[in-house]
Amino acid sequence: MAEINQVDFDDLQVTEPEFEQVSEEYVELNRRLDDATAVADWLAVVSDWNELRRRLAHWHSVVGIRFSQDTRDDAACEALERRDALTPKLTELAVEIMRRLVASPVRSELEKELGDTALLLWDCEITTFDPAIKDDLVKESELDAKYTELMASAKLDYRGREHTLSEIAKYAEDPDRDVRHETAAIRWNWFLEQQDALDGLFDEMVRLRHAMAEKLGFATYTELGYRRMQRIDYGPADVDKFRAQVREHVVPLCVELCRQQADRLGLDTLMQWDEAIHDPAGNPAPQGEHDWMLERAQEMFAEMNDEMAELFSTMRRSHLLDLKSRDGKAPGGYCSGVESLRLPFIFANFNGTKGDVEVFTHEMGHAFQWYSSQPISLVDYHWPTCESCEIHSMGLEYLTWPHMEKFFGADAERFRRLHLTGAILFLPYGVAVDHFQHLIYAQPTATPQQRADMWREMEETYLPWRDWGDLTHPASGRRWQAQPHIFGGPFYYIDYTLALTCALQLWERAEEDRDAAMETYLGLCRMGGRLPFRRLTANAGLVSPFDDGCLERVVTKAASQLSS
Ligand code: ZN
């Protein structure tokens, strides 16, 4: 690990790019491409363009982080608006360079030097942009920011105290059934109050995305959505086949798991508000708070891998971890790269449940991968495509298993079983979200009621055990409105299920040979995005989730572990 200067993210200044100045830099790059003859000329342009994109990525990332840290800060909010207004203009400039690179007379030499993945990604990206959709892209970011602000603005009163959505979520795991029911009712009542706002916001998003697709010559948004997700080696037919495997092999298993869960809890019917709780003793929770958890995490990484431990301690020192829940913070968790520091940043909203450990190990997996890929010069490879990224994050969740005693003490084994159960139960939900989006974008003019009906159909197909009882609002088909990806990250969600199928293979390998699994993991992290999904997994010796029998095999293995 390179020497890291003492840096403090909180003090980090970010220079906002001037559009005029950036376009001048692009004019110069284009002029050099006009004159380029030798491969070296082309590569020199790629290299300088890469540095420019690194600078812009830094600004983009830091502005996003600052906004999510305090969505009520006017300056952060305005900086985000300026960023989102400028981004499509910058994309236009970048796409122009990509067009020239993929059409280069020395393309095959460029592929040899840079790897063919970059060229394939650029082939894909240039079809997702046209100046005609610039304003639509700005509008799309505005709508997404509106959703984030609306969710962050929720103030839910429970027993005389105000809660954010992240904070109230912890009661879903409360051992007291009445508490779980009451807080679920409070939460969904808030969504009911926002129904018109959320239906309206989503309707605008869907129509806008459909219009963008049409302007780019696609029949529906789905094809554009796949391309925006940079899927260069699989398509909707593969994903459809994967969903069919989930219906066939995973849904029946989940029905059985839920039946066993009800038995353990001594319930006739497992209601929706019971789903998050798996035994009468309540779910295992971390045995300490934020600071204590960071200490345990530091010990854990020290036992796992020196580089991971060093990265983590640097991130702590540099305030590159923002994990405590507080008012005004955006919900959820993510990892983002801070280019100027060559260091990652992790965002989460701890709420005292086992989810804190899961979110944290998950995001640290992203962080470690991005950090491990920094020696690769091309920014296109610093993150792989999203479904591959989620292998690193979910993979680390499993690789940290032997260290869970640090967080959960005697409850660690219960945690591990729950973690695995949760993974299996997640698959049907994950593909339901994905299938829903395919329906949504196939019928862009559907009414809010028709969309709600589509979601109900998804719940019946993939989550047949779900019983909302007297919670009439989510029962009416609007549970999806609590899922941010459906608003801000169309077609992202399947990535978690594809990656989980790969991460479960890492789990399998780790059960047999922990060191070998860690080596596979480190290799994957260093590989970054140099290969697209199917080639990346094959290269790591993992079976593709699209291959017949892959899902069935890993899920059966997990199920047999759970019944032992
Ligand atoms: Zn992730």
The tens digit of pLDDT for each residue in 29-63 reads: 999 999 999 999 999 999 999 999 999 999 999 99
Residue 21's pLDDT band, with cuts at 50, 70 and 90, is very high
Is the per-residue pLDDT at 3 higher than 60?
A: no
Express each pLDDT in 325-342 by its tens digit.
888 898 889 999 999 999
| Phi and psi at residue 321, to the nearest 5° | -125, 125
pLDDT 10s digits, 395-418: 999 999 999 999 999 999 999 999
Using an 8 Å Cβ cutoff, are 35 and 79 in contact?
A: no
The residue among 483, 474, 543, 517 whose CA lies nearest residue 188 is: 474
Residue-wise pLDDT tens digits, 340-395: 999 999 999 998 989 899 988 999 999 999 999 999 999 999 999 999 999 999 99
CA of 344 to the centre of ligand 1 (A): 13
What spacing in Å lies between the alpha carbon of 489 and ligand 1's midpoint?
13
Cα separation, 76 vs 58, in Å, equals 15
And the tokens for 260?
């066993």
**What is the reported pLDDT for 101?**
98
Report how far ligand 1's centroid is from the alpha carbon of 398 (Å): 14
Report the separation in Å between the CA atom of 230 and the middle of ligand 1, taken as the mean of its atom positions.
16
Token pair of 80, please?
């985000």
Ligand 1: centre distance to CA 383 (Å): 12
User: d(Cα 433, Cα 32) in Å, to the nearest integer?
Assistant: 46
CA 334 to ligand 1 centroid distance, Å: 7
Look at residue 466 and tell me whether its pLDDT is greater than 90: yes
C-alpha of residue 158 to centroid of ligand 1, in Å: 30
Band of the pLDDT at 1, cuts 50, 70, 90?
A: very low
pLDDT band of residue 2 (cuts 50, 70, 90) is very low
Residue 184: count other Cβ atoms within 10 Å of its Cβ: 23
- Say how many Å lie between the CA of residue 507 and the centre of ligand 1: 17
C-alpha 525 to ligand 1 mean position (Å): 14
Q: DSSP strand E in 113-245: where?
A: 156-158, 161-163
Joined together, the tokens standing for residue 29 give 């790059």
**pLDDT at position 170:** 86
Q: Is-contact 383 532, C-beta < 8 A?
A: no
User: 127 vs 559, which has greater pLDDT?
Assistant: 127
Ligand 1 centroid from CA 391, angstroms: 8
Cα of 367 to ligand 1 centre, how many Å?
A: 10
Tokens of 447: 């009414």
Going by pLDDT thresholds of 50, 70 and 90, the confidence category of residue 4 is: low
* Distance (Å) from CA 41 to ligand 1 centroid: 38
| 467 CA to centre of ligand 1 in angstroms | 28
Between the CA of 231 and the centroid of ligand 1 the distance, in Å, is: 17
For ligand 1, the distance from its centroid to the CA atom of residue 254, given in whole angstroms, is: 23
Q: What percent of the chain has pLDDT over 90?
A: 89
**Structure confidence by residue, pLDDT tens digits, 236-256:** 999 999 999 999 999 999 999
**H-helix or E-strand spanning residue 367:** helix 354-372
Q: What is the mean pLDDT of residues 56-73?
A: 95
> Residue 282: pLDDT above 90?
no
Percent of the chain past pLDDT 70, that is, above it, reads: 99
pLDDT at residue number 368: 98
For residue 274, the CA-to-ligand 1 centroid distance in Å is: 26
* 107 Cα to the center of ligand 1, angstroms: 33
Pick from 160-174, 260-274, 453-467, 491-505: least confident: 160-174
Single-letter amino acid code for the residue at 206: V
CA–centroid distance, 333 to ligand 1, in Å, is 8
Cα of 1 vs centre of ligand 1, distance in Å, is: 24
**Ligand 1 center to 389 CA (angstroms):** 7
Calculate how far, in angstroms, residue 485's C-alpha sits from the geometric centre of ligand 1: 12
Going by C-alpha positions, the residue among 325, 337, 382, 332 that lies closest to residue 359 is 332
CA 163 – CA 235 distance, rounded (Å): 41
Residue with tokens 């960023």: 83
Distance 363 CA to ligand 1 centre (A): 6
Residue by residue, DSSP assigns 6-25 as ---GGG---PPPPHHHHHHH
Contact 124, 230 (CB under 8 A): yes
Q: Residue 318 C-alpha to ligand 1 middle, in angstroms? A: 22
Q: What is the pLDDT of residue 326?
A: 87
- Residue 392 CA to ligand 1 center (angstroms) comes to 8
CB 245 within 8 A of CB 551: yes
Average pLDDT over residues 437-460: 98
Q: Kind and range of the H or E element at 337?
A: strand 334-338
Query: Left (φ > 0), alpha (ψ -120 to 50) or beta: where does 118 sit?
Result: alpha
Neighbours of 400 (CB within 10 A): 24
The rounded Å distance from CA 42 to ligand 1 centre is 35
Q: Ligand 1 centroid to 362 CA: how many Å?
A: 6
Ligand 1 center to residue 53 CA distance, Å? 23
C-alpha 495 to ligand 1 mean position (Å)? 9
**Ligand 1 center–CA 262 separation, angstroms:** 30
Query: How many CB atoms are located within 10 Å of the residue 282 CB?
Result: 14
CA of 172 to the centre of ligand 1 (A): 22
pTM of the model: 0.91
Backbone angles phi, psi at 286, to 5 degrees: -60, 145
Look over the chain and give the mean of its residue pLDDT values, rounded to a whole number.
Answer: 95
pLDDT at 5: 56
Ligand 1 centroid – CA 366 distance (Å): 7
